[in-house]
Chain A
Amino acid sequence: MLVVTEPAQLPVHEAKAGDPEAWEVLFRRYQLPLYVYVFELVRNEQTSLDLVQETFIAAARHIGSLRDDARFGSWLFGIAHQKCIQLWRANKHEDVPLEKLPELSHDAEDAPDDILIRQEAEEHVLALLGRLPVDQRSALLLNCVEGFSLQEVAEITGVPVGTVKSRLHNAKRAMRKLLERYEDT
């Protein structure tokens, strides 16, 4: 099971001072969630490993620009998100997640882990996740895997909070629909 250290306990301040042990803690804490996020966007193992490594290198290089130590996680995922976009642009992908979605009026945030999956439906869920539009997938992953708030997801992906709400709502609705359909059959 992944050992998740609370952001307040992370040795970000020490990492800023260049302490290698602090960096080890940070890398160990974020390597798998970061890999999951990147892989589910780019769908290639080696590319994902490279992007994770590039993200950590960039983080180590620019840690001085991080103002609030408690936001290290969202800052790190923001770097990874930008790396994915750069990769898409370099590969001339036209389906970069920029689709305009209508903003929904629901105020309550969906709980990050409110999608419960039965064992027999796991493969279907993962397959559906891969079929979601990249912007919805990105919002869902950030919210569900790392538990980022809507505000944090908005900062990571560089879009307004309302847009994140829409994307997240649409992604979860699509996932639930599939699960219901699967249970009916």
Chain B
Amino acid sequence: MKTLKDLLLERHRSVEPKLDAAREELLAHLESSRAPVRREPSGLEHLWLECLLPLRWHLAGIGAAWIAILLLHGDTLPDQPRLFAQATLPAPQQVLAILLQHRQEILELTQPPPTAPASMAPRRSDVQPPTAIV
């Protein structure tokens, strides 16, 4: 007399070599996938690995192109900021002159004109006759 378990296990025992082979294959796969233990990359590492690293040759090419442009236009580039400044801003002397002119105009408009000229001759009453010294 057998149990159902004994009967079934006995019936399928012939397949064990195939199961063993499958097991060995699986274990070899597990072993190989276990060897390089990888940790999860951090945010910056992830950015580097996922975004920048695949584009490294493109970025290098763009960088090289910019360097070539800078070298070819090396003579004109340093003057450009000055030219720009000249074109947009007046010179300090001009600014100063304009400011002085404005100040003069404001003074003329706000101060009343002088009633008597400072260079007038003194009145006769103010002038004392010369006294004789005895």
A contact residues vs B (CB 8 Å cutoff): 2, 18, 20, 23-24, 27-28, 31-33, 35-36, 39-40, 45, 49, 52-53, 56-57, 60, 112-113, 115-119, 122, 125-126, 129, 140-141, 144-145, 147, 175
Contacts and interface: CB of A to CB of B under 8 A. Distances in A.
B13 A32 contact: yes
B9 A145 contact: yes
A117 B4 CA distance: 7
B30 interface: yes
B84 to A, nearest CB: 63
A125 B23 contact: no
B19 interface: yes
**Per DSSP, are chain B's interface residues mostly helix, strand or loop, or mixed?**
helix
B127 to A, nearest CB: 120
A144 B1 contact: no
Contacts of A145: 4-5, 8-9
Contacts of A117: 1-4, 7
Nearest to A26: B23
29 contacts: A18-B34, A20-B27, A20-B30, A23-B30, A24-B23, A24-B27, A27-B23, A27-B26, A31-B16, A31-B20, A32-B12, A32-B16, A32-B19, A35-B12, A35-B15, A35-B19, A39-B12, A45-B15, A49-B15, A52-B19, A53-B22, A53-B26, A115-B4, A116-B3, A118-B1, A122-B7, A126-B8, A129-B4, A145-B8
B81 to A, nearest CB: 61
Nearest to B12: A36
Contact of A144 (B4, B15, B18, B19): B4
B97 to A, nearest CB: 81
B11 interface: yes
Interface in B12-69: 12-13, 15-16, 18-20, 22-23, 25-27, 30-31, 34
A2 B9 contact: yes
A118 B2 CA distance: 7
